[in-house]
Amino acid sequence: MWVCVSDDFDVKVLVRNIIKSATNRDVENLELDQLQQLLKQNLDGKRTLDETMQSGGRLENEEVIKAPNH
């Protein structure tokens, strides 16, 4: 899954849309902290784009996520 984020964005809307895309689940009534926890649960165990590229892995047929900037 790829997520494109503009310079001006709403975190709650962004997280909600990622969860909807990943799970096909309606999460309109959840608060930001609930959305963040649900997102974390859905991303646990997934490889990031950085991890995939560093290991020489291929992107085809792999579930990867873009690592957040720390």
What pLDDT, in 10s, does the model give residues 7-25? 888 999 999 988 888 888 8
On whether residue 3 sits in a domain, the answer given is no
On whether residue 43 sits in a domain, the answer given is yes
Distance CA 4, CA 61 (A): 20
Q: What is the pTM of this model?
A: 0.61
Q: With both helix axes pointing from N to C terminus, report the angle between 11-23 and 32-43 in degrees, rounded to the nearest 10.
A: 40
On whether residue 55 sits in a domain, the answer given is yes
3-state secondary structure of 65: strand
On whether residue 21 sits in a domain, the answer given is yes
How many domains in the chain?
1
Q: What is the pLDDT of residues 11-66, one digit of tens each?
A: 999 999 888 888 888 899 999 999 999 988 888 877 777 777 777 766 554 455 55
Q: Which amino acid is at 12?
A: K
Cβ-count burial of 43 within 10 angstroms (0-12 exposed, 13-18 middle, 19+ buried)?
A: middle
pLDDT of residue 57: 63
The CA-based dihedral angle spanning residues 17, 18, 22, 27, taken in that order and rounded to the nearest 10 degrees: -50
65 DSSP β-pair partners? 48
Range of the domain at 43: 11-65
pLDDT of residue 58: 62
